[in-house]
Amino acid sequence: MQRNTRVILAALSAASLLSATIPSTSFAQALPARIKIGSSQPLSGSGAGSGQAAKMVQEMAIKEVNANGGMGGRQVDIVFGDDGADPTRAVTEAKRLIDQEKVHVLIGPGIAAVALATAPLVTPAKMLSFPMSGTPAINPTTFPYGFASFYPADAFLEAMVDYAVDKLGAKSIAVMADTGGQGKAAAEQAKTYVPKRGAKLTGIEYADFESTDYTPQVLNLKRGNPDVVLQVTSLQVGGGYFYKATEEQNWQIKIVSQISSLFTADILKIAGSNSYTTRRMHGLTTKATTMCPGEDASKMPFAQLRDKIRAAYPNDFQKIPMALAPYYYDVIFATKAAVDATKSVEGPKLAAWLEQNGGTVKAVMGKLTMSKTDHFMYHSDVFAFTVRPDQVNAQGVATREGC
Q: Is the pLDDT of residue 77 over 50?
A: yes
Same structural domain, 282 and 333: no
User: What is the residue-averaged pLDDT of the chain?
Assistant: 91
Look at 366 and 341; give whichever has higher pLDDT.
Answer: 341
Same structural domain, 45 and 157: no
How many Cα atoms are found within 13 Å in the side-chain-facing hemisphere of 28? 8
Helices (H), 212-346: 215-223, 236-248, 264-271, 301-312, 325-342
Same structural domain, 173 and 288: yes
Q: Is the pLDDT of residue 10 over 50?
A: no
Helices (H), 45-147: 48-67, 87-95, 112-117, 119-122
pLDDT of residue 319: 85
How many structural domains does the chain have? 2
Residue 15 counted as domain residue? no
Same structural domain, 166 and 273: yes
Residue 4 counted as domain residue? no
Q: How far is CA 74 from CA 26, 29, 64, 65, 128, in A?
A: 14, 11, 13, 10, 17
Same structural domain, 370 and 286: no
Same structural domain, 158 and 281: yes
Element (H, E) at 187: helix 181-196
Name the nearest CA neighbour of 31 among 388, 362, 349, 383: 349
pLDDT of residue 48: 82
| pLDDT tens, residue by residue, 376-400 | 999 999 999 999 999 999 999 999 9
Same structural domain, 167 and 254: yes
Sign of the dihedral defined by the CA atoms of residues 52, 42, 246, 186, in that order: negative
Q: Is the pLDDT of residue 24 over 80?
A: no
Same structural domain, 375 and 286: no
Residue 7 counted as domain residue? no
| pLDDT tens, residue by residue, 235-247 | 888 999 999 999 9
Cis peptide before 348 (omega within 30 of 0): no
Angle at 66 between CA 62 and CA 68, to 5 degrees: 120
Residue 193 counted as domain residue? yes
Same structural domain, 104 and 209: no
Residue 298 counted as domain residue? no
Rounded distance between C-alpha atoms, residue 196 and residue 161, angstroms: 10
Rounded distance between C-alpha atoms, residue 291 and residue 8, angstroms: 69
Range of the domain at 395: 153-293+385-399
Residue 25 counted as domain residue? no
pLDDT of residue 4: 37
In this prediction, residues 258-284 reach a mean pLDDT of 94
DSSP 104: S
pLDDT of residue 5: 37
Rounded distance between C-alpha atoms, residue 93 and residue 99, angstroms: 10
Residue 17 counted as domain residue? no
Same structural domain, 175 and 260: yes
Q: Classify 86 as helix, strand or coil.
A: coil
Same structural domain, 241 and 340: no
Q: How far is CA 388 from CA 276, 280, 285, in A?
A: 6, 10, 11
Q: Is the pLDDT of residue 222 over 50?
A: yes
pLDDT of residue 236: 85
Name the nearest CA neighbour of 265 among 236, 235, 306, 296: 236
At 349, the pLDDT band (50, 70, 90 cuts) reads very high
pTM (two decimals):
0.88
CATH number (domain holding residue 52): 3.40.50.2300
pLDDT of residue 216: 97
Q: How far apart are the first and last CA of the chain?
A: 84
Same structural domain, 205 and 327: no
Q: Is the pLDDT of residue 8 over 50?
A: no
Residue 11 counted as domain residue? no
Rounded distance between C-alpha atoms, residue 96 and residue 118, angstroms: 12
Q: How far is CA 112 from CA 1, 5, 21, 177, in A?
A: 75, 69, 46, 13
